[in-house]
Structure 1
Amino acid sequence: MLNNIRIVLIETSHSGNIGSTARAMKTMGLTNLYLVNPKQGIDEQAIALAAGADDVIKQAKIVPHFDDAVADCSLVIGTSARLRHLQNSLIEPRECGGKAINAAKCGQIALVFGRERIGLTNDELLKCHYHLTIPANPDYSSLNLAMAVQLVCYELRMAYLAEQDLPVSSIDNSNARTNSMATAQELEYFYQHTEQVYTQLGFIQNQGVMQKLRRLYQRTALEKNELNILRGMLSTVEKRIKLVRN
């Protein structure tokens, strides 16, 4: 299960944070690190701060865009501050650990950490199924990147270890839904298709509508066959629009 979980760092400014993240991951049994357009590459400082986890660093995948890092993932969890417009999708590290381990039984999972100074953009947050927030001391909530990764990876490991005590039957029964979850890339195609059709119908006249639709569908955790039905409905509407216009 841990092999199906990746840690994604977005546009990391300091190479030392990459090394410290690798160390935090390896101590908890995670090895899949994705770097999205890092501002500083893997250098001597990154290797030094990895403190023996240089194998995690050396096999890290470097990709240019957020979408490239999560395309094949059926569950994407992004870190965020306590933003009011994300209340319905906010989870804390312990709940995150449970959800990620359960979903990792049959699919690829991404835990995304944003830029050191500004975090994730609104567009990136919209592409996440859940938004992870760490309930730190409100009077001093300063956590650096590697500390946040370490805390989350600890909860992942605790959830993973708890799974080892479950009977095989209970694990098998939980696989069916996770196995058929739509991936981030499939959902992105669906959102583009939805926007195209609804714009033709005149229903979407500003980006606010599409943002709310994204959040709605993200909360429902669409399965692949459900997504295919929705795509089929959109295609049928498109055909009707063409007939009317002709």
Structure 2
Amino acid sequence: MLDNIRIVLIETSHSGNIGSAARAMKTMGLRELYLVAPKQGIDQQAIALSAGADDVVKNAVIVTQFEQAISDCSLVIGTSARLRHLQNSLIEPRQCGEIAIQSVKCGEKVAIIFGRERVGLNNEELLKCRYHLTIPANPEYSSLNLAMAVQLVCYELRMAFLQEIPVATIENIVKTTIHLATAQQLEYFFEHTERLYQSLGFIQNQGVMQKLRRLYQRAAVEQNELNILRGMLTAVEKHLDFHKE
């Protein structure tokens, strides 16, 4: 199950942090690492600080855009220390582990996103996440470096994974036929929605679209449900085109 969970690091400033994060991952049984536009590539420092997890580092997938790292994932969880405005989707590491493992049990892919060392994730990236993860550290001193944060989250993922073992072995876990929409499929839907409702004059500012994004992210839309929603948008477009003629 852990093979279907990827850790995504965005614009990492120091190569050593990549190696340290890889070490944190491997100790907890995770090995799929994505790097989005790292400021420093994989070098000797990254290998050295991986401390034996160099296979995770060397197999890391490097992409230029955030969307490329999450396009095939049905569950995207973003981490940040500044999330108080997102109360409806806010979770802590233990909940993150439980939610992620339940999702991969259904055959879905999960991405957990860690932002830039200094400024974290930007608002546009946060809007592409269904859940938003915050670590309830000491408010008087909440400083965690990137590898520490990765270690904490990976630990909770492993604990949630181990909780499943007494119930059923990995081989006989019952898989459901439900498939959630991927991040890329949702993005196409959001673009379609915005385009149509801007043409109707309903969406006149980005605030409306942001609220709609949060609504659909919380809903955990299935692929067949998304097909219905997109079909409805297309039907409205055809109706408008008919009356124009």
**Where does residue 62 of structure 1 map in the other structure?**
62
Match of 1:186 in 2: 185
Equivalent AA in structure 2 for residue 141 of structure 1: S
Task: Deviation per CA, 1:150-190: give whole Å up to 9, x if none.
Answer: 0000000000000101147x942xx426x410000000000
Amino acid at match of 1:164: I
Structure 1 residue 109: Cα displacement: 0.6
TM-score w.r.t. length of structure 2: 0.96
Whichever residue aligns with residue 221 of structure 1, its letter is: A
Give, in whole Å, the separation in 2 of the partners of 1:81 and 1:245.
50
CA RMSD, 1 decimal: 1.4
Q: How many angstroms apart in 1 are the aligned matches of 2:83 and 2:156?
A: 22
User: Is 1:112 aligned to 2:113, yes or no?
Assistant: yes
Change (3 A) 1:53 1:167: closer
Aligned partners of 1:158, 1:81: CA distance in 2, in Å? 23
CA shift for structure 1 position 84: 3.0
Deviation at 1:43, TM superposition (A): 0.7
Task: Measure, in 2, the Cα distance between the counterparts of 1:55 and 1:143.
Answer: 25
Q: Spell out, residue by residue over 1:31-51, the C-alpha distance to the aligned partner (whole angstroms, 9 max, x if none).
A: 000000000001111110000
Q: How do 1:11-22 and structure 2 match up within 5 A?
A: 11-22=11-22
Q: Give % identity.
A: 72
Task: Quote the residue 2:209 is aligned against.
Answer: 210
Gaps of 5+ in 1: none
Q: Which runs of 5+ in 2 are unaligned?
A: none
Aligned length: 243
Helix, strand or coil for the counterpart of 1:176? coil
Calculate the TM-score normalised by the size of structure 1.
Answer: 0.96
* 1:138 aligned partner: 139
User: 2:2 aligns to what?
Assistant: 2
1:84-109 superposed Cα distances (whole Å, 9 cap, x missing partner): 32100000000000011111120111
Q: Contact between 2:3 and 2:31, CA under 8 Å: does it hold in 1?
A: yes
Aligned equivalent of 1:148: 149
Which residue pairs with 2:79 in the alignment?
79
Give CA deviations for 1:43-93 in whole Å, capped at 9, x if unaligned: 111110000000000000000000000000010000022433210000000
Residues of 1 paired with 2:84 and 2:147: CA distance?
Answer: 26
Shift of 1:120: 0.4
In structure 2, C-alpha distance between the alignment counterparts of 1:164 and 1:143, rounded to whole Å: 31
Separation of aligned partners in 2, 1:148 and 1:34: 16
* Matched AA of 2:102: N
SS in 1 for 2:140: coil
Match of 2:125 in 1: 124
- Structure 1 letter corresponding to 2:57: I
Cα distance between partner residues in 1 of 2:64 and 2:77: 19
Q: Distance in 1 between matches of 2:228 and 2:60?
A: 36
Provide the C-alpha distance between the structure 2 equivalents of 1:49 and 1:229, rounded to a whole number of angstroms. Answer: 48
Give the whole-Å Cα distance in 2 for the aligned partners of 1:84 and 1:92. 12
Q: Name the CA distance, whole Å, in 2 between partners of 1:19 and 1:134.
A: 22
Instruction: Report the Cα distance in structure 1 between the residues aligned to 2:44 and 2:78, rounded to whole angstroms.
Output: 28
Q: Contact 2:130–2:218 at 8 Å: present in 1 too? A: yes
Mapped partners of 2:100, 2:242: distance in 1: 45
CA distance in 2 between counterparts of 1:81 and 1:235 reads 39
Name the CA distance, whole Å, in 1 between partners of 2:215 and 2:81: 20
